[in-house]
Structure 1
Amino acid sequence: MLSRIRNTLLAGAATALVSVTWTAPAWAETLAEALTHAYIHSGLLDQNRATLRAADEDVAQALAELRPVLSWAGGVQRSYGISRTALTTSYTGNASDTANISISLQQVLYAGGRNRMAIEVAKEAVLSTRATLVSVEQQVLYNAVSAFMEIRRSAETVALRQNNIRVIRQELRAARDRFEVGEVTRTDVALAEARLAEAEAAFAAAQGNLIIAGEAYLAAVGKKPGNLVSPQGSPRIPARVEEAKALALRQHPDLIAAQHTVTAREIGIEIAKGARKPTVSASAGYEISESFDDRASTRGGTLRIGASGPIYSGGALDSAVRQSVAQRDASRANLHVVSHTIEQNVGNAYAQLRVAQATVESFEEQVRAAQVAFRGVREEAALGARTTLDVLDAEQELLDARASLISAQVDETIAEYLVLGTIGLLTAEALRLDVPSFDPAAYYNMVKTAPVSRSKQGRELDRVLRALGKD
């Protein structure tokens, strides 16, 4: 009878251990849904989109430097005082009130090409900022992937630890039954009790790690985790490292941003040289002045064309040229560093992926072997050839193998998306996420002609800005 009870308990323990799974209710959340939510609700993306809009406005302001400036000025003046002539000894008071208003027009006709080149610098800055925005988007999505998979790792570990407690409690009951009939000693019971306490401590630690992972998920995705479904497939990545490196050197946003920075620095050299050239400008003005005392008034205008240029600046202009050359050289060196870093990151990401894939295969084999070993030890313990400690050790090895397998599978998925990021393909467009499309050129096209608020374009732009402010 006791032998039958013992066999039943051991069989139940094995069944419970082998069937450890983390099941999710019907309303589960996929990785794609988590990435979509992270993309839509990312404050970091909103921040960098606003930075891009600010860079777009630099183009508008540079264009405005080529246009005439029309301004007005006006004022009312009261003058008063006393006077005395040489022939009289008394003072005579006098006062006058005048008002004037003027309008002026100023236009720079020639500035050594600096104004037009400033527009090109601003355009290069816009293109660089767009690439930086893509880089930020990749980081946002990668953080969401990592947070999603860490939740899975922690939740699976909690389920394993919880199931482990159930198995050890069954083993403890079996050990106590066998102790009562004299088949084992008190030592076997104490070992099972110690292992149960250890399992409960590990379960508490796993629960804490799950809470921590949940906070990371909230920060990365923008909401609390629901019942997450493990990814069913893998993202498509190039099969060979060389192919991935070549692709990354063509489209990685960090490299694109560095290239536009180099171009802007090269134009900056020409702007610095242009400061040595003369500036030619034209101005026109018209003024009306009227006295309140005698109702006298004057009207008149001016037309002027002037030129100015540096003769000696204490070496400041030459220094500015040398500084621009040094900045250009630094940006070229940075471009070289960025390209090598991208290649290195691609190689490292593929190495991590290969290691994760090999580790998954190894742990899958370990789990299969550990399951066979556990069943064998269980049967031998039923025949009295193994002790309770042997069963607990075999159970622990199987638990560790399953936990390691889950962790390796998580690492493999994270490594796959890391590869995408190093290539420059970890974007909402490349992943085909169901998110509102964002056109980085839309705002630029609205402001590149520097519209004023009173124009039709300006009123449309005001509506766009109000809509952005409500988001």
Structure 2
Amino acid sequence: MLASWILVLASPAALQAAPQLTLDQAIAEAEAQAPAIESAEADRDAAAARTTQARAAGRPSATLTGTIGRGRLDPGGFFGLQAADVTPRAAQATFEQPLFTGGRVGAATARALAGERMAEAAGGRVRADLAARVAQAYGAVLVEQERQRLYAALVMTTTELVRHATDRFDVGDAPRTDLNQAKVRQADARAQLANAQGAILVARARLANLVGRDPGTLAPLPAPPAVPGDLSAAILRAEQASPTIAQAQAGLDAALAAKRGAGAERLPTVGAFAEAATVRDQFFPGYRGDSATIGLRARWQFLDGGRVRGQLAEADAGVRAARAALAAARDQTQEAVIAAHAAVTTSALIEQAAGDQRAAAEEAVRNVRDEVKVGQKPQIDLLDAEREATAAGVLVLSARADRVTAAYQLNALLGGH
């Protein structure tokens, strides 16, 4: 499928005819078809089902069992009964209600609920990470398209300068060095243009893979999403809402619940029951029996050969591991928040500086062009000024794309996008 997309991407007419795709739309389309999100949603549904199962262990249950067969009984004359063909059958209905489980049901339910929170946090992290990836791919396409546009213009400019240098060289008004330098700049511009054209295909293919279709024409980059301006505020928000930390905290809660459940295995269980049964032809021809019973049923395993002790040791190790994972998650998240916040701040400063650089470079091109016309500067200076202006133009959009991507990456760490 990617091959067909690439063929479409190579068609400028197709790009012009397609409606513009915004970044928000690209993120929504990526979320709608991403296998990672589908997998996360399946994990969440499975976790919810495990909670239902855990709660069911403390609720009443009813079972109905029955048997029927065909055979022959020979009482051997006992009670004067002779051999006869019989159809033995039995049915029993049982109703049970746990009254005391020693904390087993509560611990299992708490562990399952923690698993739900883990799945929910994992799903949130997948969505936020996907949004950041789409923003990065979206920005990369726009940057490469701008680079292609600027270098295409530079190729045209250098081609004209080569023609001008050739004319001057032919009439003896310029040295061969000027002509050779002009051709070098022209070749460099053509190489940069070819590089940009190839990079566009790669960038668009990456975005197409994320959104599940040819992205068509893209709308300009929007303003980056709002993020905390203060680093300490960003770290505090991450502590409260980071999916990574929430998942690790839920893992610790699950481990603590597992430890409580292991301890509950030392305690007895008590439940109420009611049974009704009917039996026919079970022991001798013509036999029938009906019964009904209500009562309490208790079970206590007071000697288990060390099984519960082993479960407790395993659960305690799981708690220690979960605490260490939570501490690591907090440290890693704080480090990532610092890096992402710095990237947001730095890219904003770079964008501002790049804008100033582009304005100065464009002014320099105009000035050098006038000076070359009157012979105050050689043509090579104009070529260099054009190249610097083109690079500055690419840098502006690249810095803007970096700022948008960094903001989405920071928001992914903070629990949203």
Specify the TM-score bucket, using the shorter chain as the normaliser: 0.7 to 0.9
Contact kept, 8 Å, 1:121 with 1:267, in 2: the verdict is: yes
Contact kept, 8 Å, 1:100 with 1:287, in 2: the verdict is: no
Hey, what's the Cα distance between the residues in 1 that align with 2:315 and 2:389?
65
| Superposed CA offset, 1:232-275 (max 9, x none) | 43322222111121122122222222223222222222211110
Distance of aligned partners of 1:62 and 1:232 in 2 relative to their CA distance in 1, 3 Å threshold:
closer
1:263 aligns with 2:253: yes
Q: Unaligned 5+ residue runs, structure 1? A: 1-22, 85-93, 427-471
Matched to 2:216, the amino acid is G
Aligned mate of 2:310, from 301, 319, 325: 319
1:104 aligns with 2:90: no
Matched to 2:243, the amino acid is P
Aligned mate of 1:251, from 241, 245, 248: 241
1:276 aligns with 2:266: yes
Question: Between Structure 1 and Structure 2, how many residues are aligned?
Answer: 397
The answer for the alignment partner of 2:200 in structure 1 is 210
Hey, what's the Cα distance between the residues in 2 that align with 1:314 and 1:101?
38
Hey, what's the Cα distance between the residues in 2 that align with 1:301 and 1:150?
78
Counterpart mapping for 1:107-126 below 5 A: 107=96, 108-126=98-116
Hey, what's the Cα distance between the residues in 2 that align with 1:122 and 1:258?
15
The answer for the alignment partner of 2:329 in structure 1 is 338
1:381 aligns with 2:379: no
1:51 aligns with 2:22: no
Counterpart mapping for 1:163-242 below 5 A: 163-242=153-232
Cα offset, 1:403, TM superposition: 1.8
Cα offset, 1:207, TM superposition: 1.2
The answer for the alignment partner of 1:151 in structure 2 is 141
Distance of aligned partners of 1:66 and 1:160 in 2 relative to their CA distance in 1, 3 Å threshold:
same
Q: Please say which of residues 109-118 and 38-47 is displaced more in the overlay.
A: 38-47
1:29 aligns with 2:21: yes
Cα offset, 1:305, TM superposition: 4.0
Cα offset, 1:24, TM superposition: 7.4
Aligned mate of 1:415, from 384, 401, 406: 406
DSSP-derived class of the 2:187 partner = helix
Counterpart mapping for 1:360-439 below 5 A: 360-426=351-417
DSSP-derived class of the 1:311 partner = coil
Hey, what's the Cα distance between the residues in 2 that align with 1:364 and 1:121?
54
Percent identity among equivalent residues?
26
Hey, what's the Cα distance between the residues in 1 that align with 2:49 and 2:366?
71
Cα offset, 1:344, TM superposition: 1.9
Distance of aligned partners of 1:378 and 1:147 in 2 relative to their CA distance in 1, 3 Å threshold:
same
Q: Unaligned 5+ residue runs, structure 2? A: 1-14, 77-82
Using the size of structure 2 for normalisation, the TM-score is: 0.85
Cα offset, 1:117, TM superposition: 2.5
